[in-house]
Structure formats: C-alpha cells, structure tokens
Amino acid sequence: MKNNRLIITSYRLPFAFETSSGSTTVKNSAGGLVTAMKSLDFSESAEKPVWVGCADFSRRTWEKYKHLVNDDFEYIPVFLERKIQQDFYNGFSNSVLWPLFHYFTTYVDYQERDFIAYQKANEAVSETVAQLLKPQDIVWVHDYHFMGLPRLIREKQPEATIGFFLHIPFPSYELIRTLPQKCKEYLLTGLLGSDLIGFHTTDYNIHFLQSVQLNLGVQHKIWKINYQNRLIQSDAFPVGINYSLYHDAYDQPDVVQEREALRNAYKGNKIIFSVDRLDYTKGVMQRLDALEAFFRQYPEWTERLTFILVVVPSRDEILKYGERKVMIEQAVGRINGKYGTLIWRPIVYRYGSVSFPQLVALYTACDVALITPIRDGMNLVAKEFVATRKDHRGVLILSEMTGAANELSTALHINPMDENEVAEKMRQALEMEPEEQARRIAIMQRRIKEYDVKKWATSFVESLLNMHTIQQIEPTP
C-alpha cells in the first residue's frame, strides 16, 4: 500500500472553522478516524492522501480560510444545497438509518424527500471522487451516510479499488425488511459496489449477508459474495483506539493535576463515571433508573458515592435528541432531590464537552466506569477507559449490547434494561478487591493494545488490496 494514494470519504471533514469576536480559527478533530487514517503507511506514494467530506461552512469561508487548515491531507469539501444537506443528514441519515440500525424502529421517521436528498448527496460526493480517481488509488468510504457511494463510484470507474466500513451496527434482516423496497435496494446494491465491506463484529456481517441474500437473492460463501461478475468480501474488523495515547496520558502533568483536583473534590467518596454523546441509543435514562435502584437497595452508600455524568451535545436540530436532554435533566433533578442530603448530591451532571486532559483525569480518578448503551456499534469510551488505567485500578461495567463487549471479556457485563442487575453489578464493582480489578484490567489491556487503531486501519486496507488483486487475476465467470 505504500505507493497507493488513499482517498477517504466521510460525512464530516476532520476539522471545523470557529469564529469568535470576529476572528476565525481552525479546530482539528482528534477523533478516532483521523488517527486511524494518519497511522496508515503511504510513505512511497508521490501524493498526499485526500479527504472528501461534506462542508458545514460556506464556499466563501473555505476560500478565505483554507490556508489555516492543516496539511496532513488534501481536503476536498463538497458543498450541498442547504436544504439537501439538512434532509440528507438530519433526515434520512439520522432519522431513518441511525434509529433503524440501532433497533429503535418507532423512532424512524421516513420521508420521501429525505431519501431523495440522501441519493443526491451520495451522487454529488461520487462525482467529486470519480473526478479525482487514478488507477492506483484506494477509495475508503466511511459510514451510514454514504451507503450508496461504492456503487455510484464503480459505475463511473469500473476498475476502482473501493472499501466500505460501517461504524454502526448492521441490524437483523427483519429491520432492513421494514424499509421501502427502493431504499433497501439502493443501500444494499450501493454497498455491493465495494471490493471489501467491513463491520465491527461477525454478527453485523452475518446480518448484512442475510439481507443481501433475502432481498437481492444473491448467494454468499465463506464471507464472499458473487455479484454481477464480481467477487466481494465482507468481514469483521473491530475498530481499536490509539492505545499508547490514552495509556501514556496517565502521567501527563495536566492530567495528574486534574485528577488530583477531582480526588480532592470528592474525598471520602467513591466515583462512578460515564460520558456519552447525547443519544437515545446510549441508555442514559436506563442508567439513571439503575442508579436509583442502587440507592434504594443499598442506602448505606448515601453520602459515600458520586456519579459523574457527562453528556456531550449532539445532533441538536433533531427533536428526539432535544427531548432526551429534557428527560435526562428531569431525572437527574428528581434523583438528586430524592436521595441527596443537605451536604451531598448523588449525581454531578455536566452537559458539554470535556478536554482531553479532563477526560483522562475522569477515567483515571473514577472507581467504576458505567457504560450502558441499549445498542452501540462498538463503543470506544469503554476501550479508552481501560487503556488509561496504567494504575491497573477501576472496574468497567459494560452493556452486552455494545460491539466492544466481545473484546472486553473481563468487564462486568450487564443488560441495560435490567436495573436490578446493573445495581447489583455496581455494588460488586464498588466492593471489588484491588487484585481482582488489576487482573481484569490487565486482560483487557492486552487485547486492546494489540488490536489498536493502526492494526484496524492497516488490516482493512491490506484485505482491500488483496481482494482487488484477486478480482483482477480471477474474474468471476
């Protein structure tokens, strides 16, 4: 892969323009995807990797400030009409695909115009990519916003090397079945334009293969699909994190300082911590129910335990997200009012983002990380928490409905619906001996250190290149 050029497409570009008091600056994203893409070795390629994504800024802003953006990649923003962008992102992507693929069927709000906008957005991005494409390039398409893209690119450039990775669950066929036929076909044939399709887990892959078989009548054998004279591979590639970044942060001076401040502030109390984007899939309400069950069943923990709940704003133009914020705030107020005392609050709630040093300080100051999604494709918070615990302390309580539960085998697994089970595991975690904590953390650290983000990205691209080569040598009859 060293001499290939990489073309990445994702909905978001990995930077944002921020304007305050009349001056504009650029904030680079430190997310997992950027780290993964940067970790790939394209050192012998004459050209820089390219990143194509949707612009959430105007053409004018881009022309004026693009010189401020980092030069790690060549960035190509695609400018969609405002209405198309909204219907594509808030509509079909986040009010149909997101809830459906996370099994929230009653949250699906299908509107024909949103599906049309989704197709238009995919078409616009495919045109941009096709214009750039050269024979040695590798195209890597990311996530549910662009499920139509692989086929659209292939129609324009039949010989292209195209990989697709889905960062959310791929649900059971029964869920895909509920979509209008034209949507199902668009999404599934869209993905089949790829040479390689990646999912976080084998279950998601099996669900995808079943959907292809039952919907399109296309057969598969040992993770290979024979479709329109092409052989396509689909497989599991569980995404990892930048392990050393989180592990080494434990000793960073600003992290040490923040951690000490937290420990002082909650002296004498145990800390349970959670952080999520504001999303109904994350099970925050169920977590609060479990906390209430815990204080009901174990009143001896009154004034001895603090739950720090950080919720990061997300997709706030969508009604279901705004509603969730109100529900969480009401539940926090109710629990604090009911179980708190004049000198103590059971829940400390923050709605906003936290800096990297604050996040690592929270991960490493807490006694228990409580992660309870109803569904989650992977859940990187769980992996980050484990990686930061250089002190081999802390207990992870993790929903069995996350992709990460497969790999994090020595976490205390829970079903997020079962508040009594979660309450009981909280007690178990709070009372766990340090040796047992260390044993469990060490096993999980070994796994996520080895399967880190670099391994994920490299093994995906290597499999993609292999698949493309097989295609060239043995075209399917």
> Is 143 or 384 the residue whose CB approaches ligand G6P more closely?
143
> Is 15 or 339 the residue whose CB approaches ligand G6P more closely?
15
d(CA 321, CA 340): 27
> In whole angstroms, how close is the CB of 239 to ligand G6P at the nearest point?
10
Identify the burial level of 392 via C-beta atoms within 10 angstroms of its C-beta, where 0-12 means exposed, 13-18 middle and 19 or more buried: middle
Is 193 within 8 Å of 231 (Cβ atoms)? Answer: no
> In whole angstroms, how close is the CB of 346 to ligand G6P at the nearest point?
29
DSSP 8-class letter at 471: H
Closest among 238, 128, 143, 149 to 192, alpha carbons compared: 149
Which residue type does 366 have? C
> In whole angstroms, how close is the CB of 168 to ligand G6P at the nearest point?
5
> Is 271 or 380 the residue whose CB approaches ligand G6P more closely?
380
Closest among 227, 3, 1, 7 to 130, alpha carbons compared: 7
DSSP 8-class letter at 296: H
Q: To which H or E segment does residue 429 belong?
A: helix 419-430
> In whole angstroms, how close is the CB of 226 to ligand G6P at the nearest point?
29
> In whole angstroms, how close is the CB of 12 to ligand G6P at the nearest point?
5
Summarize as ranges the residues that interact with ligand G6P (CB under 6 A). 12, 143, 167-168, 314-315
> In whole angstroms, how close is the CB of 246 to ligand G6P at the nearest point?
18
> In whole angstroms, how close is the CB of 33 to ligand G6P at the nearest point?
8
Which residue type does 204 have? Y
> Is 278 or 426 the residue whose CB approaches ligand G6P more closely?
278
Structure tokens, 460: 């995906």
Q: To which H or E segment does residue 293 belong?
A: helix 284-297
* 170 three-class SS: coil
> Is 218 or 404 the residue whose CB approaches ligand G6P more closely?
404
> Is 278 or 395 the residue whose CB approaches ligand G6P more closely?
278
> Is 39 or 314 the residue whose CB approaches ligand G6P more closely?
314
Which residue type does 213 have? Q
- Position closest to ligand G6P via CB: 167
Phi, psi for 397 (deg, rounded to 5)? -105, 120
For the chain, the first-to-last Cα distance in angstroms comes to: 28
> In angstroms, how far is CA 194 from the centroid of its own chain?
21
Four-residue CA torsion sign, 312, 12, 10, 458: negative
> Is 73 or 339 the residue whose CB approaches ligand G6P more closely?
73
> Is 12 or 389 the residue whose CB approaches ligand G6P more closely?
12
Q: To which H or E segment does residue 349 belong?
A: strand 347-351
Structure tokens, 293: 């069950």
> In whole angstroms, how close is the CB of 432 to ligand G6P at the nearest point?
30
> In whole angstroms, how close is the CB of 170 to ligand G6P at the nearest point?
12
Count how many Cα atoms sit within 13 Å of the Cα of residue 208 in the half-sphere of its side chain.
31
d(CA 7, CA 75): 10
